Amino acid sequence: MPLIAVIHLAFAIFFAVHAVRTGQPYWWLFVLLSMPMLGSIVYFFAVYMGDVRHTRQGRKAIRAVNNLIDPHRELREATIEFDRTPTAYNRARLAQALLVKGDVQQAIEHFQVAASGPYAKDSAFLRGLGEAQLVGEKYADSVQTFERLFEAHPDQKAGPSALMHAEALAGAKRPEARAAFEAVIASDASIEAQVKYGLFLLDRGERSAGRAALEHALKDAQRGHHHSRDMNREWIDAAREALKSLDAAAPA
C-alpha cells in the first residue's frame, strides 16, 4: 500500500475513533472509511475542529493538519504579504512562520525589529520574540524579553507567557526558576506546566519531588476529558518516559 494511502487511512481511523467516543452519528464511520482522505477533511472541519479550535492545544493540532496538507503555505503567504506590505504585523507573521519551520535565528531577527520603535511594548510581538529566543536557547535574552512584556502588560504574567518565562529562567540557571514554575502551577495547573515542572525538578536532581509532580500530572490527565488527553499526548508521553527512566535507574 502506498505511503500516502496509509497516512489517509490512519487519519480516517483516528477520526472514526473520535466519532465513536463522542457519540457522533454512525454514518460518519461510513463517510470516513469509504472515503478516507475526503471524509477525514470534512470531519475535521465539520466536527473535530469545533471541539478543539478554541484551545491552545487545538490550535496546534489545526496547524499540524494544515502543515500536512500544504506544509509551506503559511510561510509562503507570510513572505508574499511581507514583501508586498512590510508592516510590523506582517513582519511578525513572517517571523512566526519561520519559527514554525525551524528557521529560529531569522525568526528572532524579525521579531526583534517588530518589537521595536513604536511597537516596543506590543504584547504579541514581545511574546513572539520571547518564545523564539526560548526555542533558540537564548535563555537570558528570553528572560529579559518576558520581563519587558510583564512590565508593560502585567496581565500577561499568567498562562503560556508565564510558563515560557519559567522555562527561560530554568535554561538560564536562574535561582528564581522554581518559584516561577510554582506560580504557574498555582494559577493554571495545565498538564504541560505540571510535566515541565516535574522535568525541571528532575534536572535539578530532585528525584522525589520530580516524581511526585509527574505522577500528579498523570493523575490529572486521567481525570480529564479524553479530548484533553489527546491534546496533551506529548506531555503525557514525556511524563511516562521520565518515570520509566526513574524506575530503571532505581537501585534494586
- Write down the pLDDT at residue 18: 77
**Is residue 56 scored above 70 in pLDDT?**
no
**Is residue 224 scored above 80 in pLDDT?**
no
Residues 245 and 126 in one domain: yes
Asked whether residue 237 is assigned to any structural domain, the reply reads yes
For the chain, the maximum distance between any two Cα atoms, rounded to a whole number of angstroms, is 65
Q: Confidence band (pLDDT; 50, 70, 90) for 11?
A: confident
Q: Render 55-77 in DSSP notation, one character per residue.
A: SHHHHHHHHHHHHHH-TTHHHHH
Nearest to 231 by CA among 216, 242, 221, 244: 221
Asked whether residue 222 is assigned to any structural domain, the reply reads yes
* pTM beyond 0.85, yes or no: no
Asked whether residue 204 is assigned to any structural domain, the reply reads yes
CATH number at residue 240: 1.25.40.10
Asked whether residue 96 is assigned to any structural domain, the reply reads no
Residues 141 and 244 in one domain: yes
pLDDT tens profile 24-40: 777 778 788 888 778 78
- Looking at 15, 36, 52, which one is the last position of a domain? 52
Kindly state the cell numbers that stand for 92: 511578525
Nearest to 217 by CA among 200, 237, 239: 239
**Is residue 61 scored above 60 in pLDDT?**
no
Asked whether residue 106 is assigned to any structural domain, the reply reads no
Residues 45 and 126 in one domain: no
- Write down the pLDDT at residue 182: 95
Residues 37 and 158 in one domain: no
Asked whether residue 80 is assigned to any structural domain, the reply reads no
Residue position matching grid coordinates 520509566: 244
Asked whether residue 41 is assigned to any structural domain, the reply reads yes
Q: Which domain holds residue 143?
A: 120-249
Asked whether residue 75 is assigned to any structural domain, the reply reads no
Residues 42 and 130 in one domain: no
How confident is the model over 106-126, as a mean pLDDT? 96
Nearest to 183 by CA among 158, 203, 160: 158
Residues 150 and 39 in one domain: no
How confident is the model over 55-81, as a mean pLDDT? 70
- Write down the pLDDT at residue 54: 45
Tally of structural domains, the chain: 2
Residues 130 and 236 in one domain: yes
pLDDT tens profile 184-221: 999 888 999 999 999 999 999 999 999 999 999 999 98
pLDDT tens profile 141-175: 999 999 999 999 998 888 899 999 999 999 999 99
Residues 34 and 142 in one domain: no
